[in-house]
Every structure is written in structure tokens, then in C-alpha cells.
């Protein structure tokens, strides 16, 4: 298959390009497109064949359900059994935006799209290109992140191309995404709302609307002994090819521990990298030092993290050490992705 590339600015989508992309999806094909979180790999959520193609293009296990993207609030009711009051409140507060809600599904969405589950994940993205594409495709786009399974989610179109060239009909380049981490997922099908994947919409923000909200333990620790409630969270994700380890502790202890580890790795002939912050970047010695941004600016760290993980591969680094980040607010999402990328290897100093 030859993949077609088109590009457009988010504030002025090329409507002829969008129309053609919508036709591809309506006809059962796949289009990668920008959202405010990460790029998505879209197919018609109501077409079981499209969902099968998405799994094949990503190399993703088919028990890992897809998120259904809509472009209007009123498009949720036709695909779910009921809309709980909590969902209405969350939609008012955070939609369109980086929040995915889990509902009981009805027959409109096939089991191929939900990985065999009776529930469906729904998100209303705020990116204008995404919204126009959903409209042009008939209203329901199933879209996982547009990476090959196991790699970091793409934050620019070039990364979609690296992973999906020749495997999808079209890639829409809409520039760099704003957020850089996937949406927050909240499950509303149980007695108490529970966060299955932390994201830009933080626990604190959700609790302001709903009161107490639980967090699936598996999002942070590897040894809770439970299976994650979001099937996709059980897979090793985002892992760079090199060996990534997190180091946690006070600033001085972390810097000296990482420098010691880098020194022995270099002596063993390995190519080394350090993931750190603006405040510490001049304190390290390694083949490559990546600052994700200022420690005061979690949004910058979130936006840069997946690019840095990909660059570790481009530079063929053998070992990578990363500083770690606090556990609340947006840092919860940052740590969740970093811990997964590191296979939960974390040294406490
Ligand atoms: O920001 C995002 O959410 C991006 C953009 C493209 O919208 N999409 C995304 O999709 O991250 P994906 O497929 O990479 O991650 C979907 C996650 C998986 O962990 C999956 O297991 C979970 O959502 N999920 C989907 N449907 C679910 C359901 N019915 N119950 C529990 N978890 C579900
Ligand atoms: Mg993904």
C-alpha cells in the first residue's frame, strides 16, 4: 500500500483533504490524524473489518480495546446503554478535551472495536482537524495511538510515518501535538469512578467535579498483583530499545548516583543517555543529555517525553537513566509512562 501524506494547520483545516480522508474511513480504510494528546490511527468504529485492520497495522493484540472518538455530545447516546450523571458533569467540564470515559456499550459498536468487552471507551477530542475528520467519516472513529505496538505514542506526523508507512491509506500532518501524553481514562461503569490511565486531566481536576475518585493501583506499581482494568495497560509500553532505569531521591543524591552509573556503563563501552530537567542538565556527563523542561513546568515535561524516548532509539543508546517526578497532578501521568517505559526499574537513593 502507498501511504498518502497531506498536511494542514489546525486552525485552518484543508476541507477537501478532510473530505477525502473521511471517504477513506467510510470505505473501511485507515487514516492517521492529529489530536490534542497524541496522533491517532483512525478507522470506522462501527465497522468490525476496520478495527481488525487497525490491530493488524499496529501489530497490536486484539484483546486491547480501542477508543471511539466523537465530535458532538449527542453522538454518545446512540452507542451506549446509559449516560450516568457523572458523565454529564465530566463532559460539561472537560469535553471537548483529553478525557476518555468508559460506558456500557450497545450493539452499534462491534466487539472487534472493544476487544470483546461489553463496555466502550469514548472521547471527544478538541483538535479541530480531528473533529472535522470525525464529522467527515460519519461520526465514530476508533483510534488507538498511531504507533506500532510497544513504541511511544507519536507527537509529530514523522513518527507516524516511521511506524506506519505503507500500512495505512493516509497520514494527516497537523503539526506537533499540544499535550504529548494520551488522554486520561475514567471508568464510570462501577459504583465509584476510577481512573484507569492518568493523563492531562488530573485526579484533582476530576475530584473537583465528582468528589472522591479512585485510581487503578496498577497505573503506578507493577506489583499490586492485579490485572489492570484497562487491558492495554498490562502491556510493556513505550520502552526504548536501550535499558532505561529511573532514579528517585533528593536532587544531589540522584545526580551523583546517575553520574556513577553512567561512568561504569561508559567504561563497559556502552552508549549512555540521561533524561533530566533544565535545573540539572549541566550537572551530568553522558553521551547524550535530554532535558524534558523545567521541573516547575510539568506540561513541558509531558510534551517532550515521548519524543525523547524515540530519540534514545535514533541515537542507539544502550543505557538510559532518568530522573523521576513527583506523584500528583500531571506528574502522575508522567511517572506512569516513564515507569512503563522502564519496565518499573527504579533505584531509590
Ligand atoms: O489520547 C488518547 O486517548 C489517544 C488519542 C489518539 O485519542 N488514544 C489512545 O488510544 O491512547 P490507545 O488505544 O493507545 O489506548 C487506549 C487505552 C488502552 O489502554 C485500552 O486498554 C483502554 O484505553 N480501553 C479502551 N477501551 C476500554 C474499555 N472498554 N475498558 C477499559 N479500558 C479500555
Ligand atoms: Mg497507545
Residue 219 pLDDT: 83
CA of 120, closest atom in ligand 1: 29
Based on the fold, state whether residues 266 and 196 are members of the same structural domain: no
Low-confidence ranges of the chain (pLDDT < 50): none
Decide if 235 is inside a domain: no
Q: Is there a domain that residue 228 lies in?
A: no
Identify the CA nearest to 28 among candidates 62, 53, 2: 53
- Non-local CB neighbours of 278 within 8 Å, separated by 6+ positions: 291, 293, 294, 295
Q: Which of 185, 219, 253 is the last residue of a domain?
A: 219
The predicted structure's pLDDT at residue 94: 98
**Rg for the chain (alpha carbons), in Å?**
20
The response to whether residue 38 sits with its C-beta less than 6 Å from ligand 1 reads yes
Phi, psi of 268 (to 5 degrees): -85, 5
How many Å apart are CA 22 and CA 17, to the nearest integer? 9
Same domain, 36 and 162: yes
Report the pLDDT value the prediction gives residue 213, as an integer from 0 to 100.
Answer: 96
Res 237: pLDDT: 72
Q: d(Cα 278, Cα 264) in Å, to the nearest integer?
A: 24
For ligand 1, atom 12: residue with the closest CA: 144
Q: Is residue 234 part of a domain?
A: no
Give the residue numbers spanning the domain of 247: 243-348
Same domain, 50 and 196: yes
Q: Which helix (H) or strand (E) holds 36?
A: none
Residue 58 Cα to ligand 2 midpoint, Å, equals 10
Question: What is the structure's pLDDT at 223?
Answer: 61
Query: What's the 46 CA to ligand 2 centre distance in angstroms?
Result: 20
Q: Give the CATH number of the domain where residue 315 resides.
A: 3.40.50.11030
197 and 275 inside one domain: no
Give the nearest ligand 1 atom to 100 CA.
Answer: 3
Q: Residue 22: inside a domain, yes or no?
A: yes
Residue 20 lies in a domain: yes
Pair (249, 310) in one structural domain = yes
What domain count does the chain have? 2
Does the Cβ of 185 fall within 6 Å of ligand 1? yes
Q: How many CB atoms lie within 10 A of CB 243?
A: 16
Closest C-alpha among 64, 68, 28, 34 to residue 48: 28
**Which ligand is closest to the CA of 333, given by its number?**
1
Q: How does the average pLDDT of the chain come out, rounded? A: 95
Residue at 265 is within a domain: yes
Contact 129, 31 (CB under 8 A): no
**By CB neighbour count within 10 A (0-12 exposed, 13-18 middle, 19+ buried), where does 210 fall?**
middle
Q: Is residue 225 part of a domain?
A: no
Residue minimizing CA distance to atom 3 of ligand 1 = 183
Amino acid at each position: 500500500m502507498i501511504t498518502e501524506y497531506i498536511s494542514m494547520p489546525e486552525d485552518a483545516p484543508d476541507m477537501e483533504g478532510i473530505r477525502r480522508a473521511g471517504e477513506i474511513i467510510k470505505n473501511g480504510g485507515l487514516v492517521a490524524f492529529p489530536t490534542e494528546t497524541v496522533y491517532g490511527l483512525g478507522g470506522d468504529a462501527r465497522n468490525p473489518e476496520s478495527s481488525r485492520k487497525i490491530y493488524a497495522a499496529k501489530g497490536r493484540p486484539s484483546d486491547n480495546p480501542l477508543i471511539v472518538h466523537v465530535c458532538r455530545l449527542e453522538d454518545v447516546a446512540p452507542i451506549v446503554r446509559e449516560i450516568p450523571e457523572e458523565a454529564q458533569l465530566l463532559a460539561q467540564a472537560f469535553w471537548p478535551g483529553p478525557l476518555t470515559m468508559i460506558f456500557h456499550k450497545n450493539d452499534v459498536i462491534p466487539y472487534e472495536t472493544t476487544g470483546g468487552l461489553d463496555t466502550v471507551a469514548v472521547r471527544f477530542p478538541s483538535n479541530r482537524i480531528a473533529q472535522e475528520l470525525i464529522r467527515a467519516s460519519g461520526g465514530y472513529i476508533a483510534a488507538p495511538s498511531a504507533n506500532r505496538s510497544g513504541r511511544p505514542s507519536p507527537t509529530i506526523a514523522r513518527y507516524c510515518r516511521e511506524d506506519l508507512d505503507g500500512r495505512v491509506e493516509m497520514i494527516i500532518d497537523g503539526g506537533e501535538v499540544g499535550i504529548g501524553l494520551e488522554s486520561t481514562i475514567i471508568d464510570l461503569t462501577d459504583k465509584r469512578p476510577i481512573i484507569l490511565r492518568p493523563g492531562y486531566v488530573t485526579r484533582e481536576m476530576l475530584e473537583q467535579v465528582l468528589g472522591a475518585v479512585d485510581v487503578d493501583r496498577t497505573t503506578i506499581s507493577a506489583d499490586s498483583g492485579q490485572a489492570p482494568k484497562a487491558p492495554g495497560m498490562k502491556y510493556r509500553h513505550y520502552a526504548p530499545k536501550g535499558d532505561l532505569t529511573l532514579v528517585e531521591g533528593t536532587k544531589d543524591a540522584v545526580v551523583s548516583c546517575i553520574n556513577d552509573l553512567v561512568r561504569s556503563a561508559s567504561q563497559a563501552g556502552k552508549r549512555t543517555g540521561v533524561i533530566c530537567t533544565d535545573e540539572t542538565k549541566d550537572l551530568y556527563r553522558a553521551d547524550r543529555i535530554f532535558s524534558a523542561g523545567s521541573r516547575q513546568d510539568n506540561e513541558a515535561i509531558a510534551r517532550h517525553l515521548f519524543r525523547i524516548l524515540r530519540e534514545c532509539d535514533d541515537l542507539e543508546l544502550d543505557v538510559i537513566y532518568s530522573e523521576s517526578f513527583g506523584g500528583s497532578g500531571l506528574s502522575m501521568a508522567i511517572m506512569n509512562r516513564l515507569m512503563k517505559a522502564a519496565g518499573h526499574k527504579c533505584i531509590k537513593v
